[in-house]
Amino acid sequence: SSESASGASPARVSALRAEAEALYLGTRPKTRAAAGATAHLYDGVPMHWMSDWSTPVPLIVDRAEGARLTDIDGHAYEDFCLGDTAALFGHSPPALVEALARQIPRGLASMLPTPDAGLVGDLLAARFGLDLWQIATTASDANRFALRAARAATGRPRILVFDGAYHGAVDETFVELSPAGLPRNKPSLVGEPRDLTALTRIVPFNDLAAVEAALADGTVACVITEPVLTNCAMVLPEPGFHAGLRELCRRHGTLLLIDETHTLSTAPGGYTRLHGLEPDLLVIGKAIAGGVPTAVWGMSEAVAARFKAAKAEAADGHSGIGTTLSGSPLQLAALRATLEAVATPEAYACMNALADRMEAGLARVIAAASLPWHVARCGARVEVVRAPVPCRNGGEAKHAHFPALEAAVHLALLVRGVLISPFHDMMLASPATSEAQVDRLVEATGEVVGRLA
């Protein structure tokens, strides 16, 4: 079967899964009872992705502190998922808690700026290098708004995305290349009657010739990309890819939108600042306000001027950009605290040192089990990739995805008190994570992969 291409025998995967499932259910009476009593949530969860974890019934979290979760049955978990990056700096960091406690009694939603607003703009510009900023509530929204701004600024209809990328609930990015290399809507989409490829071009990551061909007719407003693809395992840019992409966009009058939502794990100014990328637009969500629902999008001065001119020409009324709770007092307080006191250079030094330890430890136990996998890395983000060599694009990364194996590994780790990201094998190091927690992750992974080899 295709699962056996992972290097693990399907029989061992099933045995590991069955044992973990029995242990999970056998030691969690309150969790089981809660699942049985939840009648009025679709799929039994407040957001249906929560039923995509590997557990037979949802894990219900009583508390999340630092880099540890405790469930309602009292089991503790070393948390390396960290809310799929939203808690990259640890759960409820003290400086954020204090800032929220100050703001909460002073109003949550006025649709007007607080004194923190201008300061937040200055902090974002200084850290990420773009001139003009707006606040949104999710990274999905921020990407949608930035794409709209790019189209308004250029007057062009199309966008370009890379195969295997994920940018949130942004309809027009829900496309992929079929196994035959043809663009199409993602087959898993529901409720999408439109052919999304009409206005979205899609090419493989790390393929500058394909980018050039897609931009040549001058109809593409914007290329949207993560610096490193982090949602299809992990695909790193080849040397020269980003420089070439920047150059091609300039040559064809196409704007470059970098989505740093996950690669904020790299450094205080993201991958963009560390590697000197020069995006025209930048989006960051999830961890940017420490877990308070917030995202930001920035524009260069030149793009902002063109956007402003387009907006001035449009009829009065709704621009299609913005949501009511965006830029709220709570978001501004959270952004300020995160930028000033949480996502500091010292925090990143600590996260990167822990990720070094994690990367080396995981590589060691995988090699000891002789599995044909490797470890990829983007700052504090570490990924076990189920392929012997790095993937160059989303198509290759799809072949390194083995759902039954991954679910069995995740559940086997979970019953050993270690939580990793549910959708692939991603692990994050936060400033609240300890070396002992990293060692526990490595030890538990060693035990689990030892069962598969």
Residues that bind ligand PMP (CB under 6 A): 138-140, 143, 166-168, 226, 231, 259, 261-262, 285-286
Q: Pick the closer one to ligand PMP by CB: 385 or 415.
A: 385
* Tokens 């250029």, residue located: 154
Return d(Cα 135, Cα 327) in angstroms, integer. 5
Q: Pick the closer one to ligand PMP by CB: 290 or 361.
A: 290
Q: How far is the CB of 335 from ligand PMP (least distance, A)?
A: 15
* Tokens 């949480």, residue located: 342
265: CB partners within 8 A, 6+ apart: 85, 88, 351, 378, 379, 380, 381, 428
Amino acid identity, position 353:
A
Q: How far is the CB of 137 from ligand PMP (least distance, A)?
A: 8
Q: Pick the closer one to ligand PMP by CB: 143 or 266.
A: 143
Return d(Cα 356, Cα 331) in angstroms, integer. 32
Q: How far is the CB of 84 from ligand PMP (least distance, A)?
A: 6
Q: How far is the CB of 141 from ligand PMP (least distance, A)?
A: 7
Q: How far is the CB of 394 from ligand PMP (least distance, A)?
A: 13
Return d(Cα 12, Cα 14) in angstroms, integer. 5
Q: Pick the closer one to ligand PMP by CB: 13 or 284.
A: 284
Q: Pick the closer one to ligand PMP by CB: 171 or 443.
A: 171
Residue nearest to ligand PMP (CB): 168
Phi, psi of 365 (to 5 degrees): -75, -30
Q: Pick the closer one to ligand PMP by CB: 71 or 141.
A: 141
Return d(Cα 134, Cα 299) in angstroms, integer. 9
Q: How far is the CB of 368 from ligand PMP (least distance, A)?
A: 31
Q: Pick the closer one to ligand PMP by CB: 183 or 423.
A: 423
Phi-psi sector, 81: left (phi>0), alpha (psi -120 to 50), beta: alpha
Return d(Cα 107, Cα 85) in angstroms, integer. 27
Q: How far is the CB of 353 from ligand PMP (least distance, A)?
A: 24
Q: How far is the CB of 115 from ligand PMP (least distance, A)?
A: 27
Return d(Cα 96, Cα 343) in angstroms, integer. 11
Q: Pick the closer one to ligand PMP by CB: 257 or 412.
A: 257
Q: How far is the CB of 196 from ligand PMP (least distance, A)?
A: 17
Q: How far is the CB of 382 from ligand PMP (least distance, A)?
A: 16
Length of the chain: 453
Q: Pick the closer one to ligand PMP by CB: 116 or 259.
A: 259
Q: Pick the closer one to ligand PMP by CB: 124 or 369.
A: 124
Q: How far is the CB of 288 from ligand PMP (least distance, A)?
A: 10
Phi, psi of 311 (to 5 degrees): -65, -40
Q: Pick the closer one to ligand PMP by CB: 17 or 262.
A: 262
